[in-house]
């Protein structure tokens, strides 16, 4: 994180860069926006997809004990009754008697309105689920909710996975998808939003082994934090006290990131016991027990849940990557992304765009690299110095320039290009034949 940048200034700079360079735009912007919604632009989507792919590899595909699902966002309304969300998924809300603005009671100090100074009323519970009607019927049987967590789509598929794959405990089910929360006060850019994306695992274990697997996932979460380029020094574990945990949890550790607006939850790791499977078993009348064939033991598995918010991850990655230095003329802004998450890995330029022989050769180099590294970009706008600045600002780790030496102006440099490193600004001469292999190993 940039040390010489004041914390609130850092947030402003990241938000402005994110918009200017096409990472994140305000949702419905031309209509004045919609609070708590954000649209990811081309570079934001690429960054998000890189993070999702890495997560999927590390948490699902790269393991033998994991199964992936993509459950429907709309679910039978009874799911949310059984899961306890209808009764208990709420935040305390207070309303100003004078201006009628509403706030989260636990985000406010004292009993005065922070906007107009009026008196705040009594606190009451506000359910954060978005209610909706399914189909043309308007009675209560058609009521459902946009899912507030992806987890329930996993629990209702527990039996399907058992029946199709016959896995042995412990095993897990992973899912990436959208979730919706009618936050009373969405804030801090993409930190607290109303439409979010989660990457969740429900890991089913024998009840006596929950501690062992809680520790296993705790370690994996730290490895993940490193893998996406977040300095471990900027993350701290916070044990959630009895009474403060979600209704389903017997133990929760929050992984808090040092955001400019304070240390706040980035991820959660929870021991959900058998709460969910038991509740769905009672609610649906369908057995969700597991039979251990060898031990002839039948029981409801317990669950360890590493839950990772994607939007909060993207914000942490952007904040962590934002850097300024004095390379070249004036202050340079660059995003020091780990190459594996960078939305553009390589940019290829012809030294001059009005020299057809340079452009032709540069296009050949570009197409050669793009075949192997799809996140490769062509750039021929302005001069090379400006292109470097533009690529630095979006975090492109490597730039390749095709110049007259490439064409053989200096015979000994024929078929070589300039490869420039984002962080050091250093340039080296590399043979075209070696380039793709070299870049591939550098961006892993």
> 365 and 402 in contact (C-beta within 8 Å)?
yes
Smaller CB distance to ligand GAP: residue 186 or 339?
186
Contacting ligand GAP (CB under 6 A), which of 58, 90, 98, 183? 183
Stretch that binds ligand GAP, among 293-301, 308-316, 331-339, 386-394 (CB under 6 A): 308-316
Interface mask toward ligand GAP for 247-266; x: CB under 6 A: ------------------xx
User: Does the protein bind ligand GAP through residue 379 (CB under 6 A)?
Assistant: no
Strand partners, 91: 126
> What is the Cα–Cα distance from 28 to 194, expressed in whole angstroms?
14
183: helix, coil or strand?
coil
Q: Could you tell me the smallest distance in angstroms from the CB atom of residue 247 to ligand GAP? A: 11
- Residue by residue, DSSP assigns 4-45 as TS-HHHHHHHHHHHHHHTTSEEETTGGGT--TT-EEE-HHHH
Residue closest to ligand GAP, measured at CB: 309
**Using CB under 6 A, which of 77, 177, 268, 395 touches ligand GAP?**
268
Q: What's the closest the beta carbon of residue 59 comes to ligand GAP, in angstroms? A: 14
Task: List the one residue from 13, 147, 302, 312 that touches ligand GAP (CB under 6 A).
Answer: 312
Q: Is 181 in the site for ligand GAP (CB under 6 A)?
A: yes
Query: In the numeric block, which tokens belong to residue 283?
Result: 């609610």
Q: How many Å apart are CA 222 and CA 439, to the nearest integer?
A: 27
Member of 11, 21, 80, 149 binding ligand GAP (CB under 6 A): 149
Half-sphere exposure of 257 (CA within 13 A, CB side): 26
Size of the site for ligand GAP (CB under 6 A): 18
Instruction: Record the tokens describing residue 22, joined without a space.
Output: 């096409």
Angle between helices 432-443 and 356-372 (to 10 degrees): 40
Q: Which stretch binds ligand GAP (CB under 6 A): 190-198, 280-288, 332-340, 352-360?
A: 190-198
- Written as six digits, the tokens of 149 are 């967590």
Which residues have C-beta within 8 Å of that of residue 12, sequence separation ≥ 6? none
> Is residue 147 a contact residue for ligand GAP (CB under 6 A)?
no
Contact pick of 127, 175, 198, 416 for ligand GAP (by CB under 6 A):
198
Q: Is 224 in the site for ligand GAP (CB under 6 A)?
A: no
Structure tokens at 143: 């009521």
Instruction: Indicate the residue among 21 and 192 with the shorter CB distance to ligand GAP.
Output: 192
Distances (CA, A) of 408 to 368, 402, 403, 431: 19, 11, 9, 12
311 forms part of the interface with ligand GAP (CB under 6 A): yes
Residues that bind ligand GAP in the complex, under the rule CB under 6 A: 149, 151, 181, 183, 192-193, 196, 198, 200, 265-268, 305, 307, 309, 311-312
């Amino acid at each position: 994180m940039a040390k010489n940048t004041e914390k609130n200034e850092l947030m402003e700079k990241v938000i402005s860069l994110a918009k200017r360079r096409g990472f994140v735009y305000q949702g419905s912007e031309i209509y004045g926006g919609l609070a708590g919604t954000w649209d990811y632009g081309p570079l934001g989507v690429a960054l998000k997809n890189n993070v999702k792919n890495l997560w999927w590899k590390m948490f699902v595909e790269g393991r033998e004990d994991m199964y992936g699902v993509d459950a429907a966002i709309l679910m039978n309304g009874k799911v949310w009754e059984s899961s306890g969300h209808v009764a208990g998924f709420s935040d305390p809300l207070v309303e100003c008697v004078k201006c009628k603005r509403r706030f989260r009671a636990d985000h406010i100090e004292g009993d005065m309105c922070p906007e107009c100074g009026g008196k705040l009323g009594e606190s009451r519970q506000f359910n954060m689920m978005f209610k909706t009607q399914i189909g043309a019927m308007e009675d209560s049987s058609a009521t459902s909710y946009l899912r507030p967590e992806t987890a329930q789509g996993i629990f209702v598929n527990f039996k399907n996975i058992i029946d199709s794959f016959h896995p042995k405990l412990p095993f897990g089910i992973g899912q990436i998808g959208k979730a919706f929360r009618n936050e009373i006060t969405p804030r801090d850019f993409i930190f607290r939003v109303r439409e979010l994306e989660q990457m969740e695992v429900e890991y089913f274990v024998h009840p006596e082994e929950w501690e062992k697997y809680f520790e296993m996932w705790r370690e994996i979460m730290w490895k993940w934090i490193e893998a996406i380029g977040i300095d471990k020094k900027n993350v701290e574990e916070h044990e959630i006290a009895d009474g403060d945990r979600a209704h389903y949890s017997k133990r929760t550790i929050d992984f808090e990131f040092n955001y400019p607006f304070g240390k706040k939850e980035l991820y959660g790791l929870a021991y959900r016991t058998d709460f969910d499977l038991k509740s769905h078993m009672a609610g649906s009348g369908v057995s969700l027990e597991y039979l251990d064939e060898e031990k002839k033991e039948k029981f409801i598995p317990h669950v360890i849940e590493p839950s990772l918010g994607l939007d909060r991850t993207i914000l942490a990655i952007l904040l962590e990557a934002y850097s300024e230095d004095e390379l070249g003329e004036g202050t340079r802004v660059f995003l020091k992304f780990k190459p594996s998450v960078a939305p553009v890995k390589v940019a290829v330029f012809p030294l001059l765009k009005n020299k057809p022989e340079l452009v032709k050769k540069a296009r050949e180099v570009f197409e050669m690299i793009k075949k192997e590294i799809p996140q490769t970009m062509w750039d021929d706008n302005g001069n090379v110095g400006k292109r470097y600045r533009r690529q630095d600002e979006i975090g492109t780790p490597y730039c390749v320039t095709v110049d007259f030496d490439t064409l053989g102006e200096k015979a000994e440099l024929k078929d070589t290009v300039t490869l420039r490193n984002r962080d050091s600004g250093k340039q080296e001469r590399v043979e075209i034949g070696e380039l793709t292999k070299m870049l591939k190993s550098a961006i892993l």
